Amino acid sequence: MAAKILSIDDTPPNQALINKVLSPHYEVTLAMSTQEGWQLLQDFEPDIILLDVNMPEQTGYEFCRQLREKAEFDHVGVIFVSALASIEERLEGYSSGGDDYVCKPYEPRELRAKVQACIDVREKLVAAKAHADFAQSAAFTAMTSTSEMGQVLDFLVNSLQTTDFDEVAKLILSMLQGFELSGAVAFRSKHIGEKLYSLSGVIRPIEKELLEKGCGAERIVSYNHLYMFNSSLASILIKNMPKDDNVAGRLRDHLAIAITIIEEKVQNLDLTITAKKQQSELLNSGIGQVEETISKVDRRFSLFADTMKSRLDKMMVELQESMLILGLSEDQEEALLEKIKEQHSHIAELYDQTDDLERDLIEASSTLRKALD
C-alpha cells in the first residue's frame, strides 16, 4: 500500500507542484492551512507531513512542536519544505521535531528521495523503539544511583580499555542515556572515514547533516535546547538539553569533557591502526626479502651443483685417460677411482642438505604470511 503524504502549505502553486511530483508514487492530500492540517490528521492518518514554515495562522515550527507533544502522532515523519535555508532555520526545524529539511526551489527527484528516506527511517524507528524500550529502561535504572561525574569517569576508564570505534560509541551513548539526553555522535577517522551513531540506532537525514557540519564548527554550538559539542575528530549532538539552567550547565561541562576524551580516543585508535599497518608492511617487506634471498641461494646452489658435476665428470674422464699413461695396476686404479667416487658422494650429500635448508626457510616464510593474513 502506498504511503500517505499530507502537504500543508498556504501557497497553491507550491501545493500543485508537490501533488504533481509525489502523487504518482504516494497517496497525497493537500491542506491549505495548519488548521485544515489538524483536521485532516485524524481522518487521513498520514505517514509523512510536508510542512511549510511561514504560514499566517501558525508557523510550521509551532505546528511541529504541538504535533510532537501528541503521542498518537509519534510515528509521523515531518519534512520542512521552505525557502528559508540558513543553518539557524534548519536547527530550528530539527529543534521543533522535524526529520528533514528541503529548501525551495528543489529538484523533484530530491523531494521524492527525501520523502522515501523519511519513510524508511520512520519504519526503522518504530521497529527499533520496541527493542530499545526494555534496554533503555534497564540502563536508566542502573544509572540512577551513579553521579553525573561518576558516569563521565566511568566513560573515561572504560574507553581506555576499548580498541574499537563501535565500543566507544556504545559507551558515550550509554552515558547520554544516563543523563536522560537524546542525540547522536559522529567519529571522523582518517582510516574508516566518518561513522555516525544514535540512541535509536537510526540516523535521521537532518542529524547527519548537522553532525557533518560539526567538523570545523565552534567547540560548543547551541540553539534553544539543541546543543552540539565539536572537535576536528568527533561531534556530539544533543536534542533535549534540560531547561533548568543549573542542570544544563552541569551537563554542558560533562559533555565538553566527554568530547575531549572522544577526540583523544579517535586519535589513539587511528595511531593504533597506523602502527598495525606499518608493522604489517614491515613484516611483509621482511618476508619478501627472505623469499628473494632464498631464491638467490637456490639459483647459486643449482649453478654450483651443475658446475661441480661437470667438473667431476671431466676430471673422471681425464683421470681415466691419465691412468693409461701412469702404468698403475688394476687394483690401484680401482682404489683411486673408489676414493674419487666417495668424495663425489659426499659433495652430493652436502647439496641435498642445502635442499632441506631451503625447504625449511620456505615453510617458515609461508607460516609468517599465514599469521599476517
Residue 80's pLDDT is what? 94
Q: What is the mean pLDDT of residues 235-248?
A: 90
Domain boundaries 137-274, corresponding CATH code? 3.30.450.40
Bridge partners (DSSP) of residue 102 are 81
Q: Cα dist. 95→22, 62, 148, 238, 266 in Å?
A: 26, 11, 25, 10, 28
- Which pairing describes strands 226-230 and 220-223: parallel, antiparallel, or unpaired? antiparallel
Residue 9's pLDDT is what? 95
Bridge partners (DSSP) of residue 230 are 235
Digit-coded pLDDT (tens) for 314-346: 776 766 666 666 666 677 667 766 777 776 676
The one-letter code for the residue type at 42 is Q
Outline where 28-164 has alpha helix (H). Answer: 34-44, 60-68, 87-95, 108-143, 148-160
Digit-coded pLDDT (tens) for 41-95: 988 999 999 999 999 889 999 999 999 999 889 889 999 999 887 888 888 998 9
Report d(CA 60, CA 51) in Å as an integer: 6
Q: Are 56 and 27 in contact (CB under 8 A)?
A: no
Residue 142's pLDDT is what? 45
* CATH class entry, domain 4-128: alpha beta
Residue 140's pLDDT is what? 47
Q: What is the mean pLDDT of residues 12-34?
A: 95
Q: Cα dist. 13→9, 19, 22, 100, 298 in Å?
A: 10, 10, 14, 22, 83
Q: What is the mean pLDDT of residues 140-144?
A: 45
Report d(CA 80, CA 48) in Å as an integer: 11
Q: Which helix (H) or strand (E) segment is 29 a member of?
A: strand 27-31
Q: Could you tell me the pLDDT band of residue 279, with boundaries at 50, 70 and 90?
A: confident
| Count of helix runs (H) and strand runs (E) in the chain | 10, 10
Residue 254 main-chain phi, psi, to 5 deg:
-60, -45
Is the pLDDT assigned to residue 150 strictly greater than 70?
yes
